[in-house]
Amino acid sequence: MAKFRSLLRWCWYASLQVMVQVAAVLLYRVRYSGQLNIPRAGPLIIVSNHQSHFDPPLIGMGTRRQMNYVARGTLFGFAPFRWLITSLGAIRIEREGIGLGGIKESLRRLKRGEVVVLFPEGTRTHDGRLGQLHGGFITLARRSGAAVLPVAIEGAFDAWPRRQMLPRLGEIHVRYGNALSPEAIAQMSDEEVLVEVTRRIEQCLRQLRAHPNMAHLKNRNRL
């Protein structure tokens, strides 16, 4: 029965992924780069900047690996949306942090060799720039032996800024950076890991903004 439920979830996830891919390409001309940097197997924590509500499905569209998204408890308040994200295996956290329940469930899935997606800024950006990252993902990485994959999204803020009720058309690019291996993480302090992951996300952002269609965003920076 468990295998049957797992198969059903995979089919549901794959079906939604295809629908989102079609809509994203038609409406937002989504471009991906760096997919070869995504480990094909093993526990993986994806950490990304957070520009809009588009970010979780955009990250999942670029790989066949199934994502486990960490979602705020407030997102579970609206019943239809709660059903949707629960059906996709969302991990519930509280606004103040990932919480004990969220940590245990995230570790459980990572130890099964799965992928967990986190947005360590803690909230969507107010101005399109990368905010300060929180280091909770480092504990997860150390305890699970997971690699950490930095990801950058650009253009999503302009398409759907947090102050705007509904999205508008635009162009969105996503880049998967170079993963930080468990062995490398073990040799670094938490502060060094945080600095390095931040650096890699910023590097991905600079590479995305170098694209001719993103030239108008090249002056964005973290400071």
Q: What is the mean pLDDT of each run of 10 residues along the chain (223 residues)?
A: 69 90 93 97 98 95 92 76 84 67 90 96 93 95 98 96 93 98 98 98 96 78 48
Q: For position 197, what pLDDT does the model report?
A: 98
Q: For position 202, what pLDDT does the model report?
A: 97
Q: For position 98, what pLDDT does the model report?
A: 56
The strand pair at 44-48 and 147-154 is best described as parallel
Can you tell me the distance from the alpha carbon of 200 to that of 133, in angstroms, rounded to the nearest whole number?
A: 12
Q: For position 221, what pLDDT does the model report?
A: 56
Q: For position 86, what pLDDT does the model report?
A: 83
* Cα 181 to the center of its chain, rounded Å: 18
2-217, superfamily in CATH? Glycerol-3-phosphate (1)-acyltransferase (3.40.1130.10)
Tokens of 166: 């509904």
Residue 26 CA: distances (Å) to CA of 3, 30, 110, 187: 35, 8, 33, 44
Q: For position 6, what pLDDT does the model report?
A: 76
